[in-house]
Every structure is written in structure tokens, then in C-alpha cells.
Amino acid sequence: VTSFTDGRVLWPTSTPDGRTIAFERDFGIWTLETAGGQARAVPIVRRGAPMQPTPERVRQTSSFSDLALSPDGRLQVAVVTGLRGMTQLLLRDSRELQPRLLPDTDGASSPFFSPDGAWIGSFRQNGVYKLPVAGGPPVRLADSNAQSRGASWGEDGFVYFAPDTVVGLSRVRED
């Protein structure tokens, strides 16, 4: 989708209508219009004085990472580390008391939801996968490597993702 020849591209996120993808490129914010394919840097102007002293950021948990919420906010999926030391996806429905480990998600990272909340996308085993929330086997959508840096499922039927830290954004059809 993009044709950057240098730098890194990370953390793509789409707008709710799927018309724009925002991502981080070389410590700046960029947007990509999905209809036209033109990437543009977002000008950021810092104002005011920095806080003194800089607050220390401490992560309060080591049991999960990479949390994603479904579009309606009812479902939450997190990457957890199991007893074997392998990451897996843990799904929680706000209408239920107990979360459940999703089968066939060993090695999963960076989860994201489809716009309708019926599918969970993630990276694993050098690929981008989708998994039905209702149950069923994962479906491989595209190749990717272990350095993948996030994805976003657009309303336009494409999954936009950063396949590694060196190339630009890629996209793949959801089906």
C-alpha cells in the first residue's frame, strides 16, 4: 500500500469508516487515505513547557499484553503468556464472568477486531491470521515476519498491517 524505501512503519489504526489509516513512521504520525493511497505526514506542533520532573511510567502487570476491544466494547482480547511460556489469546465477553483461552492461538501477538466484532485478527507463525469469535479454526490471510508491528481491519474489506519494522504498510483482503 505504501512504498517507503527507508524508515520504519508501526501501529496502523483505521478510522471507524475505514477511509483513513493512521500510523507511526519514524517517530511521526502519518495518514493514508484508503481510496487514493496517498500517505501524508501529520504536522504536529508542540506547545507549552514540558512537565518537570518527567513522570515515571511503570507497567503494573506482566501477565498480559496487547489488549484490543471490539468496536461495540463488549469483547476484550488480550495476549497472555501460558504455563508453557507460549503466548495465547484470551477472550472476555463483558456479559460473562470467565474469560476463555482461544484454541489454536499459540504464539499470537498484536490482536485486533473486525469492524463487526465477529473476527479477531492477530499475528503468529510468520503470518496474519483471522479467527472467528464464535469458534472455529484460524484462517491465514498473509505472510508477515516476527517483527510485525500492528494491524487494523478497515470497513473497506481490507486488513492494513505493518509486516515488519523496515517496509511500509501492506494490505490484504479479509476473505
Cα–Cα dist 161/175, whole Å: 15
Best-predicted range by mean pLDDT (41-50, 88-97, 127-136, 146-155): 127-136
pLDDT score of 63 = 58
Q: Contact, 50 vs 93, CB < 8 A? A: no
CA distances from 85 to 99, 107, 145 (A): 19, 10, 20
pLDDT score of 52 = 59
Q: Contact, 106 vs 89, CB < 8 A? A: no
Its pTM stands at 0.68
Look up residue 155 and give its three cell numbers. Answer: 470497513
pLDDT score of 30 = 85
Residues 54-83: pLDDT tens digits? 554 434 344 567 889 999 989 999 998 876
Residues 89-119: pLDDT tens digits? 999 998 988 888 899 999 999 999 999 999 9
| Mean pLDDT value across residues 123-134 | 91
Q: Contact, 21 vs 40, CB < 8 A? A: no
Concatenated DSSP letters for 9-48?
Answer: EEEEEE-TTSSEEEEEETTEEEEEETTT--EEEPP----S
